[in-house]
């Protein structure tokens, strides 16, 4: 009898834990009632770490980190996509203006792609919260093709032009494919 009670307690916990795992990668949708815009983003942005070369140059200093995340906006059936990028500066080499053309490059398995900055539609709610208030945040054009490549790519890196003209390199410290693939699937972006 005790064995049945034990399983009766564990079974719902196991099912609940399975659901929690799935929902942690499920995209977040928010309706901005002020503008009528629906935003879909990841639960949290993807953190990108400085490359080993960048970290070695800044040993003992607070290093700069980068964050990115896809954003879908839907206004009455008109859908667009953007890539949210946030640079959280440390006291090492500083990023240049990420809004300037050619300043940010996305590097995937298929090779580098220079990102073009875009103006997002007016929103009363931001899809992601900046990590630091003094960082730089920008949106970049994101096609569904690039989003699908991101979801399939083992490599996810970001190269950012530094203030001194060199390049700050950032990479994902974990496999980002499951979260991005779930986002692509949830948004209905398919090859059909």
pLDDT tens digits along 89-128: 988 788 999 999 999 999 999 999 999 999 887 777 788 9
- From CA 136, how far away is CA 130, in angstroms rounded? 8
Helix axis angle for 177-186 and 2-25, nearest 10°, is: 80
- From CA 130, how far away is CA 174, in angstroms rounded? 20
**Token reading at 4:** 């049945």
- Cβ atoms of 121 and 115 within 8 Å: the answer is no
pLDDT of residue 192: 53
According to DSSP, the residues that pair with 140 across neighbouring strands are 83, 117
pLDDT of residue 17: 35
């Amino acid at each position: 009898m005790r064995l049945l009670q034990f399983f009766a307690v564990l079974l719902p916990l196991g099912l609940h834990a399975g659901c929690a795992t799935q929902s942690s990668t499920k995209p977040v949708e928010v309706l901005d009632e002020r503008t009528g815009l629906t935003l879909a983003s990841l639960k949290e942005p993807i953190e990108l770490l400085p490359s080993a070369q960048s970290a070695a140059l800044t040993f003992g200093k607070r290093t700069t980190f980068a964050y990115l995340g896809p954003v879908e906006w839907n206004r009455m059936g008109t859908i667009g996509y953007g890539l949210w990028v946030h640079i959280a500066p440390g006291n090492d080499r500083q990023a240049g203006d990420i809004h300037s053309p050619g300043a940010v490059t996305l590097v995937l398995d298929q090779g580098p792609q220079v990102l073009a900055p875009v103006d997002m539609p007016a929103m009363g709610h931001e899809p992601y919260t900046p990590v630091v208030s003094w960082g730089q945040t920008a949106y970049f054009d994101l096609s569904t093709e690039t989003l699908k490549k991101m979801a399939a790519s083992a490599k996810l890196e970001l190269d950012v032009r530094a203030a001194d003209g060199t390049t700050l390199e950032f990479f994902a410290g974990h496999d980002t494919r499951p979260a991005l693939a779930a986002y692509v699937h949830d948004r209905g972006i398919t090859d059909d």
